[in-house]
Amino acid sequence: MVSLTATLERDGRRGGFRWGSAPRFVNPVPGRSIMTGRGEGAETPFHRPVLLSEVMGQLGVRPGGLYVDGTVGDGGHALSFLRASTPQGSVLGIDLDPRSLVRAAERLAPFGNRFIPAPGSYADMGALARKAWGDAARPDGILLDLGISSRQVDAPGFGFSFQQDEPLDMRFDPNADIPTAAEIINTWPEADLARILWEYGEEPRSRAIARAVARRRPIHTTGELADLVGSSGGRRPGGRAGGRTAGRRINPATRTFQALRIAVNDELTTLTAGLHAAIDLVAPAGRLAVISYHSLEDRVVKNVLAQQAAQCLCPPGLPVCICQHRPTLSLVNRRVIRPEAAEVAANPRSRSARLRVAQRLSE
């Protein structure tokens, strides 16, 4: 196992993690190496941060500022926040995946206690920020980079992707007491499977896939599921189940895997709660930046930000406003910011990224 600079330590009394001046990290998955992307035996490079220059410009990261990276991942955005906020700026890095926090903590160790790793959900960022900085602290900027990292897709041991044939899991936190993708696939009624494939994956073949799954169960691995989806009406002549199918831009299992991941981690509910937590937490004149990667996420982000920026929430047709709503935000960009062609060429997975930014109004 690659040596780490710090170890993550469970606090059995609280079921959480111990906090202190020097958080400690251990490999959260015993017997599985952590991939650092550098040095001997490195397997996977650090995830490339998407829309980095745009995020830095929109958040206006400054020396001495406080910043929250609510989905810190491998620490790419947080690294730039720390550099730009030198010498006394601080970054709170939150992630549900303890494996990501190990990598981020090792990568950002040169910044000492200016980087604060926080295991947990960004929906709880208010409590995590108070624990890190005290009750009065309000961050100057907050970033939510949604979705999964390249490492979680490419590396073994996550169960997120059909690129690896491994047990169906899809939990961001492998220790979380929630149903895995395998449990959902093998125990949910066919109608419920069809519903989540349609609602969370926008899969037009949702009923056919759910029917095929119900007939084939039990299904244990990502490869089994990808092959089944590919053969249930989604494979074109000359195509190959589990790989990129001829005549299609994406693997036929992509929408199914997205839907299962969202269902396992309750991502859309968490996103709504996280947006409201960020709006409550960010300092007056501070900014919230959100990068989404598919229409479901972007719709939630757009609607929450628009609602919080609206002058009135009354139904149309009322002669006078009776809602007494007061806006908390102003929208910085009403049209999404997308990656430039050069970034997409260098990192094709950035092509679907959409950045929305809002600024907190004075209280």
Residue 319 neighbours by CB distance under 10 Å: 6
The tokens describing 296, both together, are: 């479901």
| pLDDT mean over 222-234 | 87
Mean pLDDT of all residues in 237-253: 51
Whether 125 shows a pLDDT value over 90: the answer reads yes
Instruction: Determine the pLDDT at residue 249.
Output: 61
DSSP 161: -
CATH number for the domain whose boundaries are 179-264:
1.10.150.170
Domain segments of the chain: what residues? 10-151+267-360, 179-264
Of 339, 346, 328, 345, nearest in space to 292 by CA: 339
What is the spatial distance between Cα 186 and Cα 184, in angstroms, rounded to a whole number?
6
Report how far residue 232's alpha carbon sits from residue 330's, in angstroms, rounded to the nearest whole number.
47
| CATH T-level fold of 10-151+267-360 | Rossmann fold (3.40.50)
Instruction: Please tell me the distance from the alpha carbon of residue 357 to that of residue 267, in angstroms, as a whole number.
Output: 20
Tokens representing 175 are 């220790």
Q: Give residue-wise pLDDT tens across range 336-346.
A: 999 999 999 99
The Cα–Cα gap between 196 and 179 comes to 14
Percent of the chain exceeding pLDDT 70 equals: 82
Question: Which segment of 140-149, 226-235, 243-252, 339-348 scores lowest on mean pLDDT?
Answer: 243-252
pLDDT of residue 196: 97
Confidence bin at 46 (pLDDT 50/70/90):
low
According to DSSP, residue 5 is labeled: S
Q: Looking at 13-17, 252-256, 358-362, which range is the least confident one?
A: 13-17
Cα–Cα distances in angstroms (integers) from residue 109 to residues 47, 73, 112, 165, in the given order: 17, 15, 5, 34
Q: Is beta strand 354-360 parallel, antiparallel or unpaired with respect to 115-119?
A: unpaired
Q: Answer yes or no: is pLDDT of 34 > 70.
A: no
Task: Say yes or no to pLDDT of 114 above 80.
Answer: yes
User: What confidence score (pLDDT) does residue 16 get?
Assistant: 32
**149-174: per-residue pLDDT in tens?**
777 776 777 777 787 899 999 999 99
Give the span between the Cα atoms of 288 and 280, in whole angstroms: 11
Residue 247 has pLDDT above 60, yes or no: no
**Residue 233's pLDDT band (boundaries 50, 70, 90)?**
low
Q: What is the pLDDT of residue 18?
A: 31
**Residue type, position 339, single letter:** P
What value does the mean pLDDT take over residues 128-146? Answer: 96
- For the segment 260-286, the average pLDDT, to the nearest whole number, is 97
- Report pLDDT for 60: 96
Q: Please state, in angstroms and rounded to a whole number, the distance separating the CA atoms of residues 285 and 81.
A: 18
Residue 66 reports pLDDT greater than 80: yes
pLDDT at 257 over 80: yes
Tell me how far CA of residue 162 lies from CA of 45, 236, 301, in angstroms. Answer: 20, 18, 28
Lowest mean pLDDT among 16-30, 147-161, 185-199: 16-30
Q: Reading across the β-sheet that carries 354-360, which strands appear in turn?
A: 115-119, 90-95, 66-69, 141-145, 287-292, 354-360, 329-331
> Phi-psi bin for 217: left (phi > 0), alpha (psi -120 to 50), beta?
beta
pLDDT value at 10 more than 90? no
The structure's pTM equals 0.82
At residue 180, does pLDDT exceed 60? yes
Mean local confidence (pLDDT), 281-293: 97
Q: Are 110 and 184 in contact (CB under 8 A)?
A: no
The answer to whether the beta carbons of residues 19 and 111 sit under 8 Å apart is no
H-only helix segments in the chain: 52-59, 76-84, 98-107, 125-133, 150-154, 181-187, 190-201, 206-216, 222-231, 254-265, 267-281, 295-309, 341-346
Residue 363 pLDDT more than 80?
no
d(CA 318, CA 34): 59
CB 287 within 8 Å of CB 360: yes
pLDDT at residue 359 in the model: 98
Joined tokens for residue 318: 């009322």
Confidence band, pLDDT 50/70/90 cuts, at residue 241: very low
Contact between residue 290 and residue 139 where contact means Cβ atoms under 8 Å apart = no
Determine the pLDDT at residue 157: 73
User: What percent of the chain lies above the pLDDT cut of 90?
Assistant: 67
Does the pLDDT value for residue 43 go beyond 70?
no
